C-alpha cells in the first residue's frame, strides 16, 4: 500500500504515544492511537494500564471534533473481544471513522484479523503495515508471548573487557559505573518480571527492584530454586512477594517460604533440574511480556542451551579481570566455530564510561 508522508508522521506519533505505556500496560500491549482529519490531529491516546481505556477509546474520548470520517492510526490491530474493556473495533465503528491504519495485525487468537474484519464489514477502509518494523519493536514482548507462547527473554550482564562477571572469589561490585547501573534500573522498569537463580540469591542477596529511576510498577521477581534453598531472611522476600519455581517436594521448606509471602510453584523437571522451557511457558501464562534475567554463569548458560533467550544486554566496563574470573555463560566446549552461537548486534552505545551492547539471537 502507498502511504503518504503525512501517514508516516501520524503513525510515528501513535508509536511515540504507545511508548508512554511501555512500562505499565503489561500484560496488555502498549498501544498508541492518533485520530486525524485532513492531516490535523483531533484526538490521541495510549493504553496506560490493564483495566483502563485502550488507546483507541482514549483517543476517541479526547477528540476535539467529531471523528466521523476521520482516520485512526493505531499501532496494533484494534481488539474485537470483550475483556475488562469493550472492543475497540466496535468503538471505532460506532464513531463512524472513515479509515483505520494499523501498523500490525494482532497475533492474539482472540483478535487475529477479527478486529480488522469487523471494521471492513462496517465499510471502514482498513490498511496495515505502516511502520511495521518500529511497531514490532514497541510490541515485541506481547508479540512473542502471543505468537510463541513465551515472553521476550533478555539476559543482562555487566562484564569486563575480557568477559568476566565476577572474580574467582565472587566479588563483582561494582564492575560498571553509576550511569550503567541507572540504565540497568531503567531496563528493569520496562520488564514485567526479573528472573534469577538460587545461586545468585545465596551469593549476592539481591533485591532485584527498581530503585534508581522513576517506576510506576515494580516487576515481579522470580527465583528458580530447584531444591528450595531460598533463605527466609533473603532480601528478595521483602516487599512484593516473589514467585519461586521449584521441583522440590519439601513441604516444610515450601511452607516456610509461603509464610514469608512467597508464591511457590512446582514446575516440570528435566533430569532432576527445573525444565527451563516449561518455566518460559509458565511466565507467558502469567502474562509476562518481557522478562529480564540477572543471574550467574550457570543459569545464563542453561537458559541459552534451552533455547529460550532472545536478547543479550551487556554492559562492558573498561576493566580487565584476568583468566580466573567467572565468565558470562557456562557452556560446553565447542570443537569448531560453526557450533558457536552468533547473536546479531543491534545496538552499541556509551553509557557513562561503559559500553552497552545489545545483541539478539535470530529465529
Catalytic residues: 56
Place of cell 531496563: 187
CA distances 337 to 162, 298, 359, Å, are 19, 21, 18
Are the C-beta atoms of 101 and 72 separated by less than 8 Å?
yes
Q: Which residues pair with 40 in a beta bridge?
A: 37
Sign, CA dihedral 63-133-155-258, equals positive
Name 43's Cβ contacts closer than 8 Å, sequence gap at least 6: 34, 35, 59, 60, 61, 62, 63, 64, 67
Angle, helix 114-121 to helix 88-95, in steps of 10 degrees: 20
Instruction: Single out the residue of 295, 299, 317 nearest to residue 308, CA to CA.
Output: 299
Our separate counts of H helices and E strands in the chain read 11, 18
The Cα 362–Cα 18 span in angstroms is 25
Q: Using CA atoms, how far apart are residues 138 and 62, in angstroms rounded to an integer?
A: 23
213 contact partners, CB below 8 Å, separation of at least 6: 182, 185, 186, 189
CB distance 329 to 304 below 8 Å: yes
Burial 232-270 (b: 16+ CB within 10 A, else e): eebebbeeebbbbbbbbeeeebbebbeeeebebeebeeb
DSSP string for residues in 171-234: --TTSS-HHHHHHHHHHHHH-SEEEEEHHHHHHH-------SS--SSPPEEEEE-TT----TT-
Cα angle value 363/314/328 (rounded, 5°) = 85
Residue with cell 552499541: 348
Amino acid at each position: 500500500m502507498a502511504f503518504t508522508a503525512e501517514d508516516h508522521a501520524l503513525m510515528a506519533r501513535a508509536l511515540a504515544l504507545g511508548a508512554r505505556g511501555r512500562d505499565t500496560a503489561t500484560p496488555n500491549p502498549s498501544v498508541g492511537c492518533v485520530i486525524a482529519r485532513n492531516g490535523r490531529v483531533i484526538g490521541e491516546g495510549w493504553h496506560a494500564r490493564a483495566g483502563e481505556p485502550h488507546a483507541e477509546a482514549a483517543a476517541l474520548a479526547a477528540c476535539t471534533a467529531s471523528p466521523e470520517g476521520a482516520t485512526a492510526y493505531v499501532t496494533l490491530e484494534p481488539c474485537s473481544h470483550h475483556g475488562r474493556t469493550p472492543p475497540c473495533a466496535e468503538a471505532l465503528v460506532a464513531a463512524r471513522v472513515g479509515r483505520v491504519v494499523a501498523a500490525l495485525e494482532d497475533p492474539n487468537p482472540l483478535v487475529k484479523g477479527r478486529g480488522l474484519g469487523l471494521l471492513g464489514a462496517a465499510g471502514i477502509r482498513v490498511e496495515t503495515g505502516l511502520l511495521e518494523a518500529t511497531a514490532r519493536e514497541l510490541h515485541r514482548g506481547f508479540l512473542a508471548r502471543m505468537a510463541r507462547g513465551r515472553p521476550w527473554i533478555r539476559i543482562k550482564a555487566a562484564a569486563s573487557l575480557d568477559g568476566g562477571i565476577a572474580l574467582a572469589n565472587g566479588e563483582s561490585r561494582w564492575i560498571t559505573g553509576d550511569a550503567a547501573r541507572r540504565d540497568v534500573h531503567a531496563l528493569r522498569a520496562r520488564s514485567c518480571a526479573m528472573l534469577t537463580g538460587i545461586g545468585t540469591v545465596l551469593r549476592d542477596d539481591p533485591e532485584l527492584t527498581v530503585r534508581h529511576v522513576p517506576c510506576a510498577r515494580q516487576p515481579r521477581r522470580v527465583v528458580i530454586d530447584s531444591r528450595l534453598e531460598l533463605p527466609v531472611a533473603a532480601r528478595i522476600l521483602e516487599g512484593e512477594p516473589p514467585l519461586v519455581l521449584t521441583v522440590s517436594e519439601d513441604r516444610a521448606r515450601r511452607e516456610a517460604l509461603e509464610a514469608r509471602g512467597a508464591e511457590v510453584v512446582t514446575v516440570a523437571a528435566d533430569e532432576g533440574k527445573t525444565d527451563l522451557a516449561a518455566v518460559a511457558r509458565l511466565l507467558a501464562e502469567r502474562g509476562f511480556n518481557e522478562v529480564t534475567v540477572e543471574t550467574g554463569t550457570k543459569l545464563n548458560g542453561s537458559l541459552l542451551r534451552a533455547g529460550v533467550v532472545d536478547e543479550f544486554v551487556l554492559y562492558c566496563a573498561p576493566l580487565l579481570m584476568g583468566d580466573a574470573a567467572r565468565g558470562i555463560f557456562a557452556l560446553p566446549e565447542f570443537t569448531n566455530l560453526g557450533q558457536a552461537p552468533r547473536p546479531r548486534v543491534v545496538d552499541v552505545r556509551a553509557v557513562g564510561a561503559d559500553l552497552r551492547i545489545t545483541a539478539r539471537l535470530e529465529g
